[in-house]
Structure 1
C-alpha cells in the first residue's frame, strides 16, 4: 500500500488485522481516518449507515454521498446486507426521482448509483464498473447510464446485468478503491467473518474507513484466519470406490 500519510490509521490497522490483531481505535476527541460505530442490532446499524452516508461524512469530510462513499457488506442478506442497505440508501439519497422503473427485482431511477455485474464487450462495460443512471426513456424502453463520461444504453429487458450500487458486497469491491468506505460488520454475518475479508474491506478506503456493527464481530473475524473451513462431501466423493 502506497499512501502519502505513513501515519494513517487505515494502514496501521490493515497491518494489525492481517497479523490477527484487533485494530487500534481512536480516543475521544482524537482526529482519525479509522472509526468504529457501535450498533445495538442490525436495524440500528442500518439507520446509522444511512445517517453516516447521507449527512455525517459529507458534512465533516466534504465528500459526496454518492460519488465518494461506498458501503461494503460481507453478504447480500440481512438488514446490514447489501440488498437491504441499497434500498435504504436509495430512498435516502434519491428520494423523489422524476421517474422510476422496477426490473428483475431492482428499482432504477435517474441519479442512482449502479454497477455492471458481468462483462459486456459490445457495450464496453465490465464486471464491477460503477456508473450513474442519467435518464430513463419509457417510450423507447431504455435506461441510459453514464460510465466515466460515456453514455451506455440498456433496453429494459437487459437490465439484469445492472444493479443499484450504493452498497455492495466486499467481494465485488476487490481491486477497487474509494475515498471513503463504510463497512458493516455484525455477528449476523458469522459465516462470512474472516480476517482476509475484513482486510480487503479496510484497504478499499483511501481517506476514511468507518466500520458499523459489533466489536465482537470484528474479534471473530480477526481470529478466524484466512477463512472458515467449509464442510463439503467433495473429499468423500473423490475417494475411489471398491472395484475402481
Structure 2
C-alpha cells in the first residue's frame, strides 16, 4: 500500500521523500517508479552523494546514476557547479539516493539546478548518521512535513530471514538485539564477547585473515571491511590499520608518507573528491605499483589503474579499517566492528545502526554487551541547530 501511495505521490507532487531501513523495499520502489515513468517517456536522472552509492544505484536500477557533483558538472577551473537555475538539469524526474548524506550546501546547489516543472524524489534512511558537512537536511525536510513523506517500515518477507536486517531494526527501535549466535548453523550476524582491547585486536586479525575466509569464503582484502567508531586508541582506526597491514601485507618495502608506510598490495581509500582523476571520497582500492624513480604510485579502484604522484598521497589513507562515518553510502559483503566501552563517548544508536547496515552478507561485532547496551540506549545524537525545518514551515 505504501508503495502504491509513493508512485501516486511522484505523479502528483514536485518534491517527495521516501525513507525506510534495510529490507523495507526502497530499491524495489525506486525501480517501480522508474519503470512507470519510463513507460510514459519521462526524462529521468539518478544521483547519489558518493561514487560508491552512485555505483550501487546504477547496479540496482540498470540506469546510470551519477554523483551529485558530476550531475551538476562541478569544475574547479570554471569555479564551481555549471548546473544552476540559469542552466538547469535536463530532466523531468530526479531521484537522489542516500539523501541523509547530503549537507546543506550541496542540497542548496542541487535544488537550484532542478528545473521548475520537474519532480524531485529524495530516498534515504533517516536513522543513519547525518551528513559529514553542516545540517541534517533529510531529517529537517521530513519533520517540516512540507513535502509528502512515504515511510517504509515493513520488512519484506525474505528480508525477515536475515539476522542482519532484524538486528538493525531492533537496534533502531532502541531494543537490545539477540547477541546469542548459533554455533551450528551458518548465520549472517555474530557477536563475540571480549573486553580486553589487545585481545579484540588479535581476534579481529584472526577473523579477517583466517576464520571468515575459511568459513564463508570471503576475501580478506576485497570482501571484508573492518569498521570502527573512532580513530584513536588501541582499537581505533589508526592502530587497527597498522596491525592489519602487518598481518595481511607484511614486509617493509614501500614509500613512507606522513609517518605511514605504503606498500604494493595495500588497501587504501581516497579521502577527498578528485574530479580530474574521477575518484571520490570513500572510494577503496589497492596499490598495484610503486615507482620510486617516477615518484608515483598506481592504485586500482574499480578495475581502473589510477596514478598518484608522491605529492598527492595525502589524498590516500590505509583502508584495512575505516571509520563508520566514512563507510556511509557503501556496502560490503562482510563487516567486522569492534564495540567497546573505550568508545563510550561515540557510542550512539545511529552509529551502531549505520555500521550494522553496511554488511550485505555477514556482520561480526567484537566487544562487550555493556558497550552494545550503551550504544542502543543512547539516542541523544549530537544536536544540530539548523532551523531549516522551522523556516520551511513558514
TM-score by length of 1: 0.90
Residue equivalent to 2:38 = none
- State whether residues 196 and 226 of structure 1, in contact with CA within 8 Å, keep that contact through their aligned partners in structure 2: no
Bigger RCO (CA 8 Å, 6+ sep): 1
Paired positions, count: 229
Q: Tell me what 1:114 maps to.
A: 268
1:39 counterpart = 2:190: no
Deviation (angstroms), 1:29 = 2.9
Q: Name the CA shift for 1:28/1:144 in 2 (closer, same or farther; >3 Å).
A: closer
CA distance in 1, matches of 2:305, 2:311: 18
User: What is aligned with 1:70?
Assistant: 225
Structure 1 unaligned blocks of 5 or more: 231-244
Structure 2 CA distance, aligned partners of 1:177 and 1:22?
A: 23
In the TM superposition, residue 128 of structure 1 has moved relative to its aligned partner by 0.3
Match of 2:370 in 1: 216
The runs of 5 or more residues in structure 2 that have no matched partner are 1-21, 24-155, 385-394
Structure 2 match to 1:96: 251
Kept in 2, the 8 Å contact 1:187–1:216? The answer is yes
Aligned-partner Cα distance in 2 for 1:6–1:45: 30
Bigger radius of gyration among the two: 2
Deviation, 1:27, is: 3.7
1:37-70 CA distances to partner (integer Å, 9 max, x unpaired)?
Answer: 1223111101100010000000000000010000
Is residue 24 of structure 1 aligned with residue 178 of structure 2? yes
After the TM superposition, which residues 166-181 of structure 1 pair with which residues of structure 2 at under 5 Å, given as runs?
A: 166-181=320-335
Q: For 1:59, what is the secondary structure of its paired residue?
A: helix
In structure 2, what is the Cα distance between the partners aligned to 1:79 and 1:88?
10
8 Å contact 2:195–2:368 — kept in the other structure? yes
Shift of 1:227: 2.2
CA contact (8 A) 2:270 2:281 kept: yes
CA shift, 1:6, in A, is 3.1
Pair 1:126 & 2:280 matched: yes
Write out the 4+ residue segments of structure 1 that deviate beyond 6 Å after TM superposition: none
Q: Quick check: 1:87 aligned with 2:87?
A: no
